Amino acid sequence: MWMLDRKHLQNGEDDIWAVKISYSNSIKGTKVISFISPKVNYSYNPELPNLKIKINYSIPWHDLKYKNVWYLDKKYSKSEEKIWVVTAIAADVVEGDKDVGLLNLELDDNLDVIFISYNELNAEENWKRVLEKAPWAKRINGVKGIFEAHQQAARLSTTDMFYVVDGDAWLVDDWNFDYQPSVFDRDCAYVWSSINPLNKLVYGYGGIKLFSKSLMLKSKKMSKLDMTTSVMPKLKIMDKISNETRFNVDEFSTWRSAFRECVKLYVTNQMSKLTDWETKGRNKKFGKYANQGAVDGINFAKENINNYSELLKINDYNWLQEVFNKKY
């Protein structure tokens, strides 16, 4: 006789036999060989990929005939809809569903924060500021290429999503790295607003970003003008201000930032922002280089609006340096 594994019994229940074999018409007694468990087939909701789910549950014997279902705790879905996470079936034919309970997912309390710097004159003070907010932060320094640096950041991350802080970003006082996307929005790129110190525009330029590690690693190249939209299928713009983007540290850095951004603004037809980049902040530190970078960027975009491969040169820092040196 093989008995049902006791983990399938409730407290106080007697042992239950599962299988018995008789070799004789005249039985003198029974011999317990061992304990056995039914084979349980688990299915996971395909709409919830890349989640750490741990099931530590033994189906009671009287529920083995049902499809046992675990549902998602609503605090993770941010929805009133009842969403299944895991099902467990032990019978060939089930008699119905059994609601086992809610699952608490193993989400990382602190998502990785990666600081990406590349020769910014103010990178060290900005990095110290990041460590004040996120002592667990990591740093990528000196990796050539915007796309390559972000790929390196993804490889460095140990969480399913990670924040990116640019080397010229100074975090505002009330910023914290505590946003936790719902389980259905972890394939999105999140972009927070930044304050432009020259023209006081407040939008996503230079703001903190949150990326999916797996999607970043799957990307093969930067196929669009903007890094974020190149690698992420969905984009969420967040209202909160994360930082001031202090790009105006020298002539070239200021011009380069304005040039690149104004090409992207022109291509996406954001004309009101272009006017502010062209005309405001001239009396501030390196402000005239921002204004001239805006003018040069707009002219370059106009000349090459039908030549996207030429427009992609704005992500080549060596090319930008050559253009700047030739002009100024």
Count the neighbouring beta carbons within 10 Å of the beta carbon of residue 75.
11
Question: pLDDT-derived band of residue 11, with 50, 70 and 90 as boundaries?
Answer: confident
Question: Are residue 174 and residue 118 in the same domain, yes or no?
Answer: yes
What lies within 8 Å, CB to CB, of 268 at 6+ separation is none
Domain of residue 278 covers 249-328
The tally of domains found in the chain comes to 4
193, 221, 246 - which closes a domain: 246
**Are both 137 and 226 inside the same structural domain?**
yes
For residues 114-132, average pLDDT: 96
Mean of pLDDT over the chain:
92
Per-residue pLDDT of 136-169, as tens digits, reads 999 999 998 888 999 999 999 999 999 999 999 9
What pLDDT, on a 0 to 100 scale, did the predictor assign at position 258? 98
Which residue's entry shows tokens 């996971």? 44
Q: Are 143 and 133 in contact (CB under 8 A)?
A: no
pLDDT for the residue 261 = 96
Rounded-to-integer distance, Cα 193 and Cα 22, Å? 75
Q: Give the sheet arrangement for strand 84-89, strand by strand.
A: 41-44, 84-89, 67-72, 97-103
Whether residues 123 and 200 fall in one domain: yes
Average pLDDT over residues 125-144: 97
Q: How far apart are CA 173 and CA 242, in angstroms?
A: 9
Do residues 176 and 202 both lie within one domain? Answer: yes
First to last CA, the chain: 91
Distances (CA, A) of 93 to 8, 64, 67, 68, 318: 19, 10, 9, 13, 66
**CB 294 within 8 Å of CB 199:** no
Q: Are residue 241 and residue 115 in the same domain, yes or no?
A: yes
Question: What pLDDT score does 88 carry?
Answer: 94
> What is the rounded distance in angstroms from the CA atom of residue 288 to the CA atom of residue 281?
8
Q: How far is CA 11 from CA 32, 35, 195, in A?
A: 21, 17, 62
Q: How far is CA 212 from CA 1, 49, 164, 262, 328, in A?
A: 52, 12, 11, 27, 40
Q: State pLDDT tens for residues 271-313.
A: 999 999 999 999 999 999 999 999 999 999 999 999 999 999 9
- pLDDT for the residue 22: 87
Q: Which residues contact 125 (CB under 8 A, 6 or more apart)?
A: 170
**Section 205-214 average pLDDT:** 95
- Single out the residue in 106, 121, 146 at which a domain terminates: 106
Instruction: Phi first, then psi: give them for residue 187, nearest 5 degrees.
Output: -105, 15
Is 201 strand, coil or helix? coil
Q: In sequence order, what DSSP letters do the residues of 120-152 get, joined into one string?
A: -TTHHHHHHHHHHH-TT-EEEES-SSHHHHHHH
Residues 231 and 306 in one domain: no
Say if residue 188 is in the same domain as residue 159.
yes
Question: Which of 106, 126, 152 represents a domain boundary (last residue)?
Answer: 106
Tell whether 113 and 226 lie within a shared domain: yes
pLDDT, tens digit (0-9, with 9 covering 90-100), for 229-243: 767 778 999 999 999
- The single residue listed with the structure tokens 């505002």 is 172
- Is a pLDDT exceeding 70 seen at residue 49? no
Among 5-9, 53-57, 87-91, 114-118, whose mean pLDDT is lowest? 53-57
Residues 130 and 173 placed together within one structural domain of the fold: yes
Complete DSSP assignment for 245-312: E---SSHHHHHHHHHHHHHHHHHTT-HHHHHHHHHS-TTSTTHHHHHHHHHHHHHHHHHTTT-HHHHG
DSSP 61: G
Distance CA 212, CA 232 (A): 8
* Judgement on whether residues 203 and 299 belong to the same structural domain of the protein: no
Best CA proximity match to 227, nearest among 266, 191, 181: 191
**Tens-digit pLDDT profile for residues 71-104:** 988 878 777 888 899 999 999 999 999 999 988 7
Residue 8 in contact with residue 59, Cβ under 8 Å?
Answer: yes
Residue with tokens 């090459």: 304
Q: Are residues 116 and 241 in the same domain?
A: yes
Report the pLDDT value the prediction gives residue 134, as an integer from 0 to 100.
Answer: 98
Could you read off the pLDDT of 33-44 as tens digits, one per residue?
A: 999 988 999 999
Dihedral class, residue 191 (left if φ above 0, else alpha if ψ from -120 to 50, else beta): beta
- In 141-194, which ranges are continuous DSSP H helix? 146-156
Structure confidence by residue, pLDDT tens digits, 180-207: 898 888 888 999 999 999 999 999 999 9
Within this chain, do residues 275 and 240 fall inside the same structural domain, yes or no? no
Report residue 190 as tokens.
Answer: 């999140």
Q: What integer is the mean pLDDT of 2-15? A: 90
pLDDT band at 50 (very low <50, low <70, confident <90, very high): low
Q: What percent of the chain has pLDDT over 90?
A: 71
